[in-house]
Structure 1
Amino acid sequence: MKILHTSDWHLGQNFFTKNRKEEHQAFIDWLLDVVLKHDIDAIIIAGDVFDTGAPPSYAREMYNQFIVKINQLGVTLVVLGGNHDSVSMLNESKQLLACLNTYVIANTSEELTDQVLVLNDRQGQPGVIICAVPFIRPRDVVQSSAGDSSIDKNQALGAAIKRHYEKLHQLALTTQARLQQETNKTLPIVATGHLTALGVTSSESVRDIYIGSLEAFDAKAFPPVDYIALGHIHRPQIVAKSDSIRYSGSPIPLSFDEIKGVSINDESMSNKQIVLIEFTDQNKRIEPISVPLFQPMATLKGTLESLEQQLQQFEHCPQTVWLCIHVEHDDYLSDLQSRIQAITEGYNVEVLQLRRSRTQQSQSLTQQSKETLAELTPYEVFNKRLSIEHFEGEQAELRKQRISEQFQQIVMKLENDMTETEPKPNEDSK
């Protein structure tokens, strides 16, 4: 049984006003070639298929066309809802897509049998058991009580999520035992998740998930299964030093900091990947597959003089390169944008993000007045304002902590409200 693990497609994303349609279509075409080349039996998309709860029509069309093509290749598809996905939007086509050998699990529920799936291989024989866990919303697993502290809520949520995994695992073991009697084969068990595990490396494009007050889930609480396919973190990585617990990461860079260390001249290959898991009678093989870089992107840092030298590498680029430029030492200049525009003329590049380095000098009020909100995250704006206040003594520090927690909860609620926004009739993304 060969399974591809991918996640965080974010179809419909706008990147500094740039449409990612061509990149996503190029990735899907490439993925279909990988399926043919490796004789894949099943694909898992571990959450965040779409970038918003109300994706543009072209993104929904791309999603549907992919499902049709995958079905024509005889491949089973498992789609998990992420924190960006609308539960109702994914569910509205769930029954129809089931006819195309596609399982859609948009949210958790008390009906555990809906989340324990037996996937067949290309020969129609049972090949793997999936504990299909999407993004877990607090209301799906736990009820809060009045008067609970943030620590109480944190512990209750962590315990509830762990129990949910345990229940699914027990049901999977029961299914495994039954199928073993019927087929004389012990099927592997795979679990999924869309959350932040402790100790992972995030990126700027990831919106922090706070499941209630739970910032991260302890990987030790995952059930002892053969592989855990995770989504939400956009950098591919192994979790808790376990080769069998992985984030596949997003297939295209969703922020500039996700392409660190990538050469623009390196045959257009990126540090993005999907993961191939192959189960045989006695063995398990895990192989990351590198994803091409479909849109050239780069981050440049330095003074204006050094930036002019760095730009020379793009002199003969056939495809326009998207740039993020960090200006160091010269970041005090009021006409910085026009200077950057002047030194990039003549190169096939487009500056999508211009940032001033956070040097000690740029912390002054003069420098802060030259920054724009587009250069700052909500948390950076909040921390800058908080740094003006003085918190001396234990009680003051506790008050500072409460203010920070309340701000995080407000941002979390706003982001959750945005992802839960339902698409209006006949509404397209503009």
Structure 2
Amino acid sequence: MRILHTSDWHLGQHFMGRSRQAEHQALIDWLLLQVTQQAIDAVLLAGDIFDTGAPPSYARELYNQLVVRLHEARCQLVLLGGNHDSVATLEESRPLLAYLGCTVVPAVAEDLSLQLLTLRNRQGQPAALLCAVPFIRARDVMQSQAGQSAEEKQQGLQQAIAAHYQALYQLALQERSRLGLPLPILASGHLTTVGASSSESVRDIYVGALDAFPTNAFPPFDYIALGHIHRPQQVGGQSHIRYSGSPLALSFDELGQGKQMLLLELQDAAIASISPLTVPCFQPLCSLRGTLADLQQSIAAVLAATPAGQTLWLEVVVEGDDYLSDLQARIQNMLEGQPAELLRLRRARSQAVAGLSAQRSTLDELTPAEVFERRLQQETLDEALAGELRQRYQQVLTALQEEQA
């Protein structure tokens, strides 16, 4: 059996005001080609299917198209809710999509058996068991208790998440014994693990007080397909615990990562191989840095390398000439008549100047946590109180994000 692990599609995302609809359409077309060429039996999308809890209509159309086309290709599809996804949005069509060979797991279920899936090969035979774990919200696995310290809440939540995985693993062992087949046991997850490297487009998730889950708390699954972190990577050097990463660059700092999906081949009840499938770049992006003189040459070079018929989305960071008041006009003049759009222009500053000019940063360059941190630095507080304020702010921010979803 062959399983494709992907995550973080973020259907409906706008990249600094630009729609990604054409890219996502090209991504679906490419995926269907891989399903045919690589004889893929199942596709697992490990969370953040949509970019927001209320995706635009064209994003829902792409979602439906993905389901229907994979059904026509006789390929199973497993969709897991992420922290960007609305549980209600995914739940509304879940029963209908089940008739098209698509299993949707929007949130943690009261009945654990609903999260244990049997993946079948093209002959219809059981080939693997999947413990399908979506993004876990604190209220899904534990009850808040008055009087707990931040450390106690973190420890309690970590234990609750670990217990959820352990209970599913034990259920999978029972099912494997019932079937009498030596099936590999796989798991999914949408969370930050200790040691994972993220990018600026990743929204920090603080599940209660927990900001990262230790990998040694996972049961001994044969493979763990993770989502949420956009950089493809092994976790802690363990080849069976992996983030596939997002298939599209969702921020300029994700350029040059080599976007991919992961192809698992199962043979003789084991993971025989894990191979990356490189995802093509459907929309050229570039971030350039230098003085105006440097940029004159580098902009010309990247435009010359831009494929015919495509428009380059560009970020420019100007060094040395940041005192000029007409930087925007100067850069736009360099792009006049060229197949390029300037999406973001920034001025590079030394650390000393940056500290004095922090208030001039634009909001699209800052995360909510960074905005709060800058405000906190304006106060004279002891470290214990500052730490408690940061903790409470993260709890409020998490509650707001969950309510919006």
Tell me the TM-score normalised to structure 2 length.
Answer: 0.95
Q: Does 1:76 align with 2:76?
A: yes
**Correspondence 1:53-92 to 2 at 5 A:** 53-92=53-92
Deviations along 1:65-97, one digit per CA (max 9) or x if unpaired, are 111111111111111011111111111111111
Q: 1:348-368, CA deviations, whole angstroms, 9 ceiling, x for partnerless residues?
A: 211111122241353364x44
Structure 1 window deviating more from structure 2 (400-409 vs 73-82): it is: 400-409
Any idea what the Cα deviations from partners look like across 1:212-239, whole Å, max 9, x if unmatched? 0100000111110111000000111001
Contact 1:314 1:349 in 2 (8 A): no
| Residues 314, 348 of structure 1: 8 Å contact kept | no
Q: Which runs of 5+ in 2 are unaligned?
A: none
Structure 1 residues 35, 177: closer, same or farther in 2, change over 3 A? same
1:103 alignment partner, SS class:
strand
- Cα displacement string for residues 238-276 of structure 1 (whole angstroms, at most 9, x for unaligned residues): 0121101000011101111001xx3xxxxxxx6100000
Cα distance change on mapping 1:125 and 1:167 into 2, 3 Å:
same
Counterpart of 1:389 in structure 2 is 379
The answer to whether the 8 Å contact 2:192/2:205 transfers is yes
Q: Distance in 1 between matches of 2:364 and 2:241?
A: 36
SS in 1 for 2:288: strand
Look up the SS of the partner of 2:193 in the other structure: coil
**Mapped partners of 1:17, 1:55: distance in 2:** 15
Q: How does 1:265-414 map to 2 (within 5 A)?
A: 271-281=258-268, 283=270, 284-316=272-304, 317=306, 318=308, 319-363=310-354, 365=356, 367-368=357-358, 370-391=360-381, 396-414=382-400
In structure 2, what is the equivalent of residue 228 of structure 1? 224
Shift of 1:386: 2.7
Q: Distance in 1 between matches of 2:98 and 2:151?
A: 41
Residue 242 of structure 2 is aligned to residue 246 of structure 1? yes
From the superposition, tell whether residues 408 and 333 of structure 1 become closer, same or farther in structure 2 (CA, over 3 Å): farther
Change (3 A) 1:315 1:218: closer
Aligned residue type for 2:265: E
- 2:66 & 2:90 partners in 1: Cα distance? 15
Q: 1:360 to 1:240 in 2, by over 3 A?
A: closer
CA 1:204–1:129: 2 relative to 1, 3 Å = same
Aligned twin of 1:256 = 252
Please tell me whether the aligned partners of residues 334 and 370 of structure 1 are also in contact (alpha carbons under 8 angstroms). Answer: no
Q: Which moved more, 1:317-326 or 1:194-203?
A: 317-326
Q: Which residue of 1 aligns with 2:95?
A: 95
1:207 aligned onto 2:195: no
- Partners of 1:133 and 1:70 in 2: CA distance: 22
For 1:99 and 1:247, locate their aligned partners in 2 and report how far apart those are by CA, in whole Å.
Answer: 29
Confirm or deny: 8 A CA contact 1:132 1:191 kept in the other structure. Answer: yes
**Equivalent-residue separation in structure 2 for 1:5 and 1:22 (angstroms):** 22
Paired residue type of 1:302 = G
SS in 2 for 1:301: strand
Deviations 1:265-291 (A, max 9, x none): xxxxx6100000011016521001110
Identity %: 54
Aligned to 1:77, what secondary structure does the other structure show? strand
Q: CA deviation at 1:324?
A: 1.2
**Counterpart of 1:277 in structure 2: which amino acid?**
L
Q: CA deviation at 1:46?
A: 0.3
Q: Distance in 2 between matches of 1:54 and 1:123?
A: 38
Q: 1:187 to 1:370 in 2, by over 3 A?
A: closer
Amino acid at match of 1:335: D
Bigger shift: 48-57 or 378-387?
378-387
Amino acid at match of 1:241: G
| TM-score, with structure 1 as normaliser | 0.90
In 2, are the aligned partners of 1:314 and 1:347 still within 8 Å (CA)? no
Q: Partners of 1:176 and 1:379 in 2: how far apart? A: 44
Q: Is the 8 A contact 2:42 2:76 kept in 1?
A: yes
Task: Please tell me the root mean square deviation across aligned C-alpha atoms, in Å.
Answer: 1.5
Give unpaired runs (5+ residues) of structure 1: 263-269, 420-430
How many residues align structurally?
A: 401
Contact 1:355 1:375 in 2 (8 A): no
Query: Greater CA deviation, 317-326 or 33-42?
Result: 317-326
* Alignment-mate amino acid for residue 230 of structure 1: L
Confirm or deny: 8 A CA contact 1:192 1:230 kept in the other structure. yes
